[in-house]
């Protein structure tokens, strides 16, 4: 046993030096991190001791921008938050403005919104889980299931003209009713989807290699998850059954019955299984909403915010004036302060809107779930291997657009 009082100066310095850790730079651009965010990992051999995160590579000043844009021009900004499920962001924003204005939308609008939001949720979870498979090396599931992401995008295209950044709907409802082509595409999707997702699940759910790779990886307890502001599938995987659609129903979600899948350990396996189960619940919601779609107007009566039909604009003075005022944003919005949240693909997406009575918001703040829960990443990966850290990040579904805004 070495006599510690007889150390040389150099030996003493070396022993006190804590810098025996190896620093590994994961990012900012890395094929396995989905988006641009940097992690400087301090590693002790193969195990990660700490991670220092840098975000903001795709910061586009949305909150400042929103103070200079009329309300209908903010919808394309919200597209680019969680761009894997942009209809949810769009509809969440429209719901916020409708809450401020006190507009009640007809049932048909609500049910159409549910169909589109749940399609977006399926698209988001599909991407997350299949890419989780790719990160473990399993490419086939991703390849076949992505064909159905295309089908969902074709449905959006029929409804609003765009595939990814949809700018779907208007304040008060939709710009046009479902076309026959859209109806047919939704019907086809409802018929074909179960077989596709069953095939994906059969490849992964009881796959020994996949389960070994993701069980016990990146766990977080329910208490720590709540302290870190987790919401959405990540929180439900930790065992807390909080879902904004049930806690504060919007857009007639309370007309439907659906389950909230909940996990136990909050590890990657639980997050994977919760997203799988949510896809099934979303599918049931789409089927129910589509089969029970009521007849009626496809938009609320808000002439000050909803563009009048073009034929009217050419004939009718009143419609012409409304059209002009809406497009040139000469409409003054009532003063008020509102916080509205929707259940996004990653959790509670909140919009805090303060209007001072002018044509643009005075302050608009986006409560972005990815930004808030990504802070927990170092705690979740402490002590695990690098490959586990990659899978943890993949299963957390951090979307760069929502992280930085």
Name the site residues for another protein (rule: CB under 8 A): 55-56, 59, 61, 63-65, 67-68, 99-100, 226-229, 240, 242, 247-248, 336-339, 341, 348, 350, 352, 354, 362-363, 365, 367, 371-376, 404
Least distance (Å) from another protein to the CB of residue 149?
Answer: 29
Phi–psi pair at 222, nearest 5 degrees: -60, -40
Residue (76 or 308) nearer to another protein, CB: 76
Residue (189 or 253) nearer to another protein, CB: 253
Phi–psi pair at 374, nearest 5 degrees: -65, -20
Least distance (Å) from another protein to the CB of residue 359?
Answer: 15
Residue (89 or 341) nearer to another protein, CB: 341
Q: Rounded to an integer, what distance in angstroms lies between the CA atom of residue 36 and that of residue 403? A: 10
Residue 97's H or E segment, with its range, is helix 86-101
Bond before 362 cis per omega within 30 degrees: no
Residue (123 or 346) nearer to another protein, CB: 346
Phi–psi pair at 361, nearest 5 degrees: -65, 150
Residue (98 or 158) nearer to another protein, CB: 98
Q: Give 53's strand partners.
A: 39
Q: What separation in angstroms does the CA of 11 have from each of 4, 17, 19, 21, 374?
A: 10, 10, 14, 18, 40
Three-state secondary-structure class, residue 312: helix
Residue (53 or 387) nearer to another protein, CB: 53
Do residues 275 and 263 make contact, with C-beta atoms less than 8 angstroms apart?
no
Least distance (Å) from another protein to the CB of residue 29?
Answer: 17
Least distance (Å) from another protein to the CB of residue 230?
Answer: 8
Q: Rounded to an integer, what distance in angstroms lies between the CA atom of residue 158 and that of residue 156? A: 5
Least distance (Å) from another protein to the CB of residue 229?
Answer: 3
Q: What separation in angstroms does the CA of 29 have from each of 55, 57, 70?
A: 12, 10, 35
Q: Rounded to an integer, what distance in angstroms lies between the CA atom of residue 126 and that of residue 134? A: 12
Least distance (Å) from another protein to the CB of residue 379?
Answer: 8
Least distance (Å) from another protein to the CB of residue 263?
Answer: 17
Phi–psi pair at 101, nearest 5 degrees: -85, -15
Hey, which bits of 27-171 come out as E strands? 38-44, 47-54
| Half-sphere exposure at residue 201, Cβ-oriented, CA atoms within 13 angstroms | 15
Residue (84 or 376) nearer to another protein, CB: 376
Q: Rounded to an integer, what distance in angstroms lies between the CA atom of residue 193 and that of residue 172? A: 30
Least distance (Å) from another protein to the CB of residue 339?
Answer: 6
Residue (65 or 134) nearer to another protein, CB: 65
DSSP annotation of 170 reads B
Least distance (Å) from another protein to the CB of residue 271?
Answer: 18
Buried b (16+ CB within 10 A) or exposed e, 53-72: bebeebeeebeeebeebbbb
Three-state secondary-structure class, residue 17: coil
Residue (274 or 372) nearer to another protein, CB: 372
């Amino acid at each position: 046993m070495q006599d510690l009082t007889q150390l040389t100066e150099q030996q003493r310095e070396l022993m006190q030096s804590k810098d025996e850790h190896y620093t590994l730079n994961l990012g900012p651009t890395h094929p396995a991190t989905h988006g641009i965010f940097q992690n400087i990992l301090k590693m002790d051999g193969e195990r990660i001791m700490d991670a220092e995160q840098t975000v903001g590579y795709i910061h586009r000043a949305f909150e400042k921008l929103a103070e200079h844009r009329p309300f209908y021009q903010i919808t394309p900004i919200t597209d680019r938050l969680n761009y894997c499920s942009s209809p949810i962001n769009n509809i969440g924003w429209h719901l916020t403005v409708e809450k401020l204005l006190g507009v009640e939308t007809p049932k048909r609008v609500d049910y159409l919104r549910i169909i589109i939001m749940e399609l977006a949720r399926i698209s988001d979870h599909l991407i997350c889980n299949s890419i989780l498979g790719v990160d473990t090396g399993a490419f086939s599931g991703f390849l076949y299931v992505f064909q159905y992401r295309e089908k969902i995008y074709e449905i959006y295209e029929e409804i609003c003209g765009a595939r990814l950044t949809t700018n779907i709907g208007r304040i008060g409802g939709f710009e046009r009713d479902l076309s026959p082509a859209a109806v047919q595409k939704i019907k086809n999707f409802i018929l074909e989807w179960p077989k596709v997702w069953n095939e994906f699940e059969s490849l992964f759910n009881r796959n020994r290699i996949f389960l070994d790779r993701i069980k016990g990886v990146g766990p977080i307890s329910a208490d720590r998850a709540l302290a870190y502001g987790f919401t959405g599938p990540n929180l439900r995987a930790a065992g807390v059954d909080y879902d904004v659609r049930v806690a504060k129903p919007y857009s007639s979600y309370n007309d439907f019955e659906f389950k909230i899948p909940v996990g136990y350990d909050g590890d990657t396996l639980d997050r994977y299984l919760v997203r799988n189960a949510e896809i099934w619940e979303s599918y049931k919601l789409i089927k129910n909403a589509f089969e029970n779609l009521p007849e009626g107007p496809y938009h609320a009566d808000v002439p000050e915010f909803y563009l009048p039909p073009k034929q009217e604009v050419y004939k009718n003075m009143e419609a012409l004036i409304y059209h002009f005022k809406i497009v040139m944003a000469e409409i003054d919005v009532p003063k008020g302060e509102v916080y509205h949240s929707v259940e996004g693909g990653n959790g509670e997406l909140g919009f805090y809107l303060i209007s001072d009575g002018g044509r643009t918001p005075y302050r608009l703040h986006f409560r972005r779930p990815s930004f808030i829960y990504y802070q927990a990443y170092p705690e979740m990966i402490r002590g695990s291997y690098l490959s586990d850290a990659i899978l943890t990040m993949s299963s957390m579904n951090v979307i760069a657009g929502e992280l930085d805004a």
